[in-house]
Amino acid sequence: MTIYDLTLAELRTKLDNRELSAVEVAEAYRARIAATDQDVNAYITVCDESAMAEAKLADQALAAGEIAPLTGLPIAAKDIFNTAGLKTTCASRILENYIAPYDATVIARIKEQKAVITGKLNMDEFAMGSSNENSAFGATRNPWNLNHVPGGSSGGSAACVASRQAAAALGTDTGGSIRQPASHCGVVGLKPTYGRVSRYGVIAYASSLDQVGPITRDVRDSALLLQAIAGHDPADSTSIDTPVPDYQATLTQELTGLKVGLPAEYFIDGLDEDVRRAVEQAVATYKELGAEIVEVSLPHTSYAVACYYLIATAEASSNLARYDGVRYGVRTDQAENLIDMYMQSRAAGFGAEVKRRIMLGTYALSSGYYDAYYLKAQKVRTMIRQDFLDAFAKVDVLLTPVAPTPAFTIGEKTNDPLQMYLSDIYTIPVNLAGTCAMSLPCGFSAAGLPIGLQLIGKPFEEATILRTAHAFEQATEWHKRKPEF
């Protein structure tokens, strides 16, 4: 097995036993990125020099016995995290040359453990998209089939991990942006409970929905990386001061007696038959593992997409108002006056999808429409959250598909925004409810594309879904398959 095929946990063992050095690992990944990224386009910025410097510092720490869980491990980050001294573009022309002056809290936390940051990853511009086709730096391609999308908005993160360009990656999830690309790329993606992981230093899309999480090759690695980034942060007013459990310690507990809920609204017409079969087989596996399967209802699911695209776009309209050509980012040199400078700078800097969502959100917040749209959406959001709380009174976890289809072809949905938005129909409700969920591989389509299984947990019960996912992973082989390209 080559170095870049090793998981975080396997690399940890080899580094601790001095079978490998952090520099050797960093060099292996540098070569892997150079050999493959012209096809995948997962990276916006590759950190060759700084990664080697960090690897040397990690080796010094290892030699001194100063070993943290992430010391020497190669991790990449979605280009939405401020990273001191590096470009942080959010895959947008308006931030094309922006150099972050400080580290986001999650970046600071992995740096404290002397992880090696391999680079900043491609994404849908400002995290607005389901396919990674909205990037100003070109679309990322799915390593299982380069003609297909990797999902979005954390498409670069999922494709990077699947194609062995980093051992793990950090992403963000506003409506499914970790789970959906993880499903499409055959890796594990975890969206923690809102408030579990700090958002300080993360460029905002929709502040009441955004959450940071890990994308890894298996569940154990997901637990390892979540452990490093979770926890209260006084710099983030939405961060919850609640204890972080030892996620790895509970992974191996048996599932006997665990109640797994199947929401009726998630298994309806329109679900791809390959996806349905894979998820139904996963249900059968859980029965064999001793879990009790219970049918439940989430009655307001049908309103989730409309609700999300009012709340998210309204918050995006507010958050993106700061990009005005004055303080940072693109500024036109052709403006006749101040207002013209605002308009031309934003027109040149933002892509089509970002402009669409800004306009939708501005309309929803405008005088005369606020009560009819935004306020009503917030009331529906409360009903959706209550649906989940009612279901969790009966079961421990919910089991659903991640996406209605496997990864679609590049360009297939770019001219039909509504169909693109419906790609996240199974993931959006979790963000509206603010609870935790994850995607893990559960099968493949007839065309050889990965299919993911979604496990949804109670608020701050990441340990439960990790344990449930780990049991399935140990009983199957799906997570061991990798793309060859």
Overall pTM surpassing 0.85 (yes/no): yes
Q: Which of 78, 114, 413, 458 is catalytic?
A: 78
177 is catalytic: yes
Spot the catalytic one: 135, 157, 163, 177.
177
CB 130 within 8 A of CB 180: yes
Residue 376 annotated among the catalytic residues of the structure: no
Domains and CATH numbers, the chain: 3-257+395-480 (3.90.1300.10), 302-378 (no CATH)
pLDDT, one tens digit per residue, over 36-65 is 999 999 999 999 999 999 999 999 999 999
Catalytic, 379? Answer no
pLDDT by position in tens, the chain (length 485)? 799 999 999 999 999 999 999 999 999 999 999 999 999 999 999 999 999 999 999 999 999 999 999 999 999 999 999 999 999 999 999 999 899 999 999 999 999 999 999 999 999 999 999 999 999 999 999 999 999 999 999 999 999 999 999 999 999 999 999 999 999 999 999 999 999 999 999 999 999 999 999 999 999 999 999 999 999 999 999 999 999 999 999 999 889 999 999 999 999 888 999 999 999 999 999 999 999 999 999 999 999 999 999 999 999 999 999 999 888 788 888 888 999 999 999 999 999 999 999 999 999 999 888 888 999 999 999 999 999 999 999 999 999 999 999 999 999 998 888 889 888 999 999 999 999 999 999 999 999 999 999 999 999 999 999 999 999 999 999 999 999 87
- What is the C-alpha to C-alpha distance for residues 191 and 185, in angstroms, rounded to an integer? 16
Active-site residue among 92, 130, 153, 157? 153
Reported as a single tens digit per residue, the pLDDT across 372-422 is 899 999 999 999 999 999 999 999 999 999 999 999 999 999 888 888 988
In DSSP notation, 305-359 reads: HHHHHHHHHHHHHHHGGG-SSSSSS---S--SSHHHHHHHHHHHHS-HHHHHHHH
Helix runs in 201-337, H state only: 219-229, 273-288, 304-319
